[in-house]
C-alpha cells in the first residue's frame, strides 16, 4: 500500500503501439502551401519541417533516448493529490548544497541533462569538489510525467512553486538553492518569496524584466494611472472617473500577456475604418487581439496608423497626452518614459513593447487567451506540435544561429517534443500563460540573494530586475541563448558554482 508521502522509483516505458501510431500520423501529415522566399519570417517553413518530421519518423530512435533517460535516478511522489515526477541526483560530496532546477516552456526536465554531471560531481568534470550540489529536477505540474491538474489555478507558476517547496521538504532539504529560466525563473523567484527561510540563493538565467503594473510605472501627470482596485493579472483599457485608467479585467489573460504584448504598433490590419468603431459613449477596450477576447465594445479593434499611434476609442486623446505611440523610445514604455534607462535598455524596451513584440510574443497571446483551442490541434497532429515547439526554439535560441539544431542537439529537440506527445501534456503545460499573477504585477522582493545570467537574445534589463529582486550578481555572456542549460551548459554551470560559493 502506498501513501501520498511515498517516494517511488520511476521508469519511462512508452508502449510500442504509441510509437507506431506516432509514426503513422507523421506519415499521413497534410502539408500546407507556403510563400516562396519568406524563410522563417512567417513562422515555421514547411521546407524545413518536412525533413525534420521525416527524421522524427524514420531516423530518430525514441527507444535509445528512453533508455538514456532511464539511466537517471527518476522518482514520483504525490503532492496535493497529483503525481510529481522528478530527478534526484545526489552528489557523493558530503557538503554538497541541495539545488532545485526548474525548467521552462517549451522545455521539459531534459533541459538540464548536460549540467547534471558537472553540478553534482565537479571532481569528475575538472571542477572543485566544494562546488558540488545535490540536484532535484522536477517535471513541473502539467509537464511530462507529472499530473496535469484538475482545477483552474494549478497551471500557475505560484502553484508550481508551492509544489516544489513541498517536494524539497519531503526530500528532507531544509536549506537549498533555486535555479531556473523562462517559467523556471518565475518558479525560482516565487520560491524565494514563499520559502524565504529555506532558500539561500536564487540563480536565474534571462530574468523576464517587465515594468511592473504600479501607479508610478504607468505614468504620472498626463499619463495613464493604474487602478489599484483592478485585477493586475489581466488589465484592460477603460474609462474611469477622471480619465483613461487601465482597469482590471477578467483574471486569466495574465498582465504580461493580456496587456504588455498588446497595442504594439501593429499594422492597419488590426483596425482601420472597419475596426475603429466603439459603442458611442463607452471607451473601454482591451488592448490585445480578438483572440484573447480583446475587442472594442462595438466589435472592432483599435485602428493603428502608419506611425504606430492607436486611433481606436478609449486609447486616450492626443489632447490629454494619453495616446499610445509605438514609435517612441521603449515602445512608449507604457508610461514609464525614458528616465533612468540607457540607450541599450531603451532598445530592449522597444523590443518588449514595440512592433517587434507582436511577432516575438504572439504565441503567448494565443496560449493565454485560447489555450484549449490551440491544444486540440497540437494533440491531434504530431507535425503541428513539432512545428509549434521547434519554432519556439528557433526564435529563442542564440539569435546569430539560424537553425535550431545548430544551437541545440537535434535528437535532444526531438526527445523534448516526444515527451510532450507521448504524455499528452501540451494543453496542461501552456496553462501557465493564462493563470496566476506571475506574468506581471509589482512582485514582492523576497530579499533572497539573486544572481542573473544574461545570454544572447534575452531582453533582461538590470534596472527593472533590481527593483524586483535582491540582485547581487549580474553576468552577461556572448555565447549561448535562452535555453542556456542546453546551449551553453559550461557557462551556466560555472556561473551557478561561482554564485553559490559564498552562500554554502
Query: Which position has the higher pLDDT, 323 or 148?
Result: 148
pLDDT above 90: residue 82 = yes
The confidence score (pLDDT) of residue 350 equals 86
Specify the CATH class of 8-210+434-503 in words: alpha beta
Mean pLDDT throughout 68-84? 98
Domain locations in the chain as residue ranges: 8-210+434-503, 235-251+262-358
Query: Residue 77: enclosing H or E segment and its boundaries?
Result: strand 74-79
What are the pLDDT digits (tens) for 134-174? 999 999 999 999 999 888 878 899 999 999 999 999 999 99
What are the pLDDT digits (tens) for 422-459? 999 999 999 999 996 645 555 689 999 999 999 999 99
pLDDT band at 212 (very low <50, low <70, confident <90, very high): low
What are the pLDDT digits (tens) for 297-308? 233 333 333 333
What's the gap between Cα 286 and its chain centre? Answer: 22
Distance CA 233, CA 254 (A): 4
pLDDT band at 287 (very low <50, low <70, confident <90, very high): very low
pLDDT band at 264 (very low <50, low <70, confident <90, very high): very low
The confidence score (pLDDT) of residue 339 equals 65
> Rounded mean pLDDT of the chain?
80
Query: Which position has the higher pLDDT, 239 or 70?
Result: 70
What are the pLDDT digits (tens) for 463-473? 999 999 999 99
Contact (CB, 8 A) for 240 and 227: yes
Distance CA 372, CA 367 (A): 8
The confidence score (pLDDT) of residue 140 equals 98
The confidence score (pLDDT) of residue 260 equals 36
The confidence score (pLDDT) of residue 444 equals 84
What are the pLDDT digits (tens) for 90-99? 999 999 999 9
In the block, residue with C-alpha cell 507604457 = 334
Amino acid at each position: 500500500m502506498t501513501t501520498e508521502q511515498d517516494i517511488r522509483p520511476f521508469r519511462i516505458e512508452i508502449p510500442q503501439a504509441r510509437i507506431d501510431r506516432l509514426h503513422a500520423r507523421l506519415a499521413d501529415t497534410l502539408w500546407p502551401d507556403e510563400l516562396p522566399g519568406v524563410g522563417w519570417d512567417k513562422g515555421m517553413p514547411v521546407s524545413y519541417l518536412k525533413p525534420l518530421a521525416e527524421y522524427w519518423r524514420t531516423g530518430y530512435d525514441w527507444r535509445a533516448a528512453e533508455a538514456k533517460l532511464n539511466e537517471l535516478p527518476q522518482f514520483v511522489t504525490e503532492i496535493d493529490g497529483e503525481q510529481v515526477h522528478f530527478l534526484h541526483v545526489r552528489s557523493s560530496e558530503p557538503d554538497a548544497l541541495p539545488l532545485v532546477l526548474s525548467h521552462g516552456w517549451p522545455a521539459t526536465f531534459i533541459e538540464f541533462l548536460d549540467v547534471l554531471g558537472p553540478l553534482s560531481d565537479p571532481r569528475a568534470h575538472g571542477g572543485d569538489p566544494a562546488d558540488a550540489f545535490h540536484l532535484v529536477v522536477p517535471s513541473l505540474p502539467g509537464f511530462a510525467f507529472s499530473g496535469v491538474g484538475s482545477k483552474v489555478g494549478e497551471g500557475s507558476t505560484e502553484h508550481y512553486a508551492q509544489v516544489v517547496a513541498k517536494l524539497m521538504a519531503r526530500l528532507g532539504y531544509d536549506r537549498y538553492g533555486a535555479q531556473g529560466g523562462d517559467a523556471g525563473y518565475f518558479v525560482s523567484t516565487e520560491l524565494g518569496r514563499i520559502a524565504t527561510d529555506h532558500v539561500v540563493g536564487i540563480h536565474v538565467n534571462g530574468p523576464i524584466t517587465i515594468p511592473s503594473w504600479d501607479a508610478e510605472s504607468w505614468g504620472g501627470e498626463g499619463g495613464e494611472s493604474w487602478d489599484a482596485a483592478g485585477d493586475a493579472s489581466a488589465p484592460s483599457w477603460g474609462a474611469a472617473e477622471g480619465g483613461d485608467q487601465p482597469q482590471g479585467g477578467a483574471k486569466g489573460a495574465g498582465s504580461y500577456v493580456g496587456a504588455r504584448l498588446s497595442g504594439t504598433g501593429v499594422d492597419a490590419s488590426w483596425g482601420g475604418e472597419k475596426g475603429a468603431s466603439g459603442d458611442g459613449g463607452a471607451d473601454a477596450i482591451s488592448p490585445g487581439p480578438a483572440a484573447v477576447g480583446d475587442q472594442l465594445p462595438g466589435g472592432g479593434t483599435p485602428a493603428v496608423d502608419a506611425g504606430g499611434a492607436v486611433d481606436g476609442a478609449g486609447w486616450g486623446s492626443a489632447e490629454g497626452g494619453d495616446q499610445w505611440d509605438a514609435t517612441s523610445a521603449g515602445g512608449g514604455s507604457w508610461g514609464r518614459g525614458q528616465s533612468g534607462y540607457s540607450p541599450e535598455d531603451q532598445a530592449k524596451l522597444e523590443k518588449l513593447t514595440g512592433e517587434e513584440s507582436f511577432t516575438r510574443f504572439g504565441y503567448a497571446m494565443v496560449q493565454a487567451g485560447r489555450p484549449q483551442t490551440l491544444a486540440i490541434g497540437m494533440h491531434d497532429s504530431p507535425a503541428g506540435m513539432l512545428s509549434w515547439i521547434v519554432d519556439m526554439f528557433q526564435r529563442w535560441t542564440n539569435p546569430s544561429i539560424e537553425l535550431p539544431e545548430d544551437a541545440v542537439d537535434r535528437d535532444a529537440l526531438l526527445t523534448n517534443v516526444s515527451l510532450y506527445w507521448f504524455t499528452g501534456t501540451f494543453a496542461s503545460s501552456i496553462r501557465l500563460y493564462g493563470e496566476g499573477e506571475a506574468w506581471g504585477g509589482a512582485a514582492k522582493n523576497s530579499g533572497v540573494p539573486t544572481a542573473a545570467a544574461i545570454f544572447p537574445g534575452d531582453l533582461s534589463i538590470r534596472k527593472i530586475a533590481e527593483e524586483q529582486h535582491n540582485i547581487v550578481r549580474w553576468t552577461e555572456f556572448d555565447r549561448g541563448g535562452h535555453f542556456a542549460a542546453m546551449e551553453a551548459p559550461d557557462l551556466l554551470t560555472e556561473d551557478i558554482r561561482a554564485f553559490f560559493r559564498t552562500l554554502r
